Amino acid sequence: MGEPNDAHEDYVTKELLMILKRSIKEEKDAHQRYLRGVELAINPEVREMFENLANEELKHASVLRHKVKELAKKLGREEFLIELEKT
């Protein structure tokens, strides 16, 4: 088999980074949903559960942001760091 096609490699790299970017957005959206649960919960245990879930989503988003930064730098795609700041 021959060398990977540069255009294909660029496409794959961009797609992988976009998957991570979308995942960050989904984590942030889930965080907002759980915060709504915190607002609605009357029972303190239920409220605490939703607070914990909301905090976990922020941790997930942070881990993903870190992974995008690592991957973008490793692959020489620093333009994705600018895109990352928009999420």
CB 55 within 8 A of CB 34: no
pTM (two decimals)? 0.78
Distant-in-sequence, close-in-space partners of 68: CB < 8 Å, separation ≥ 6: 17, 20, 21, 24, 80, 81, 84
What tens digit of pLDDT does each residue of 22-44 get?
A: 999 999 999 999 999 999 999 99
Question: pLDDT higher for 52 or 15?
Answer: 52
CB 70 within 8 A of CB 17: no
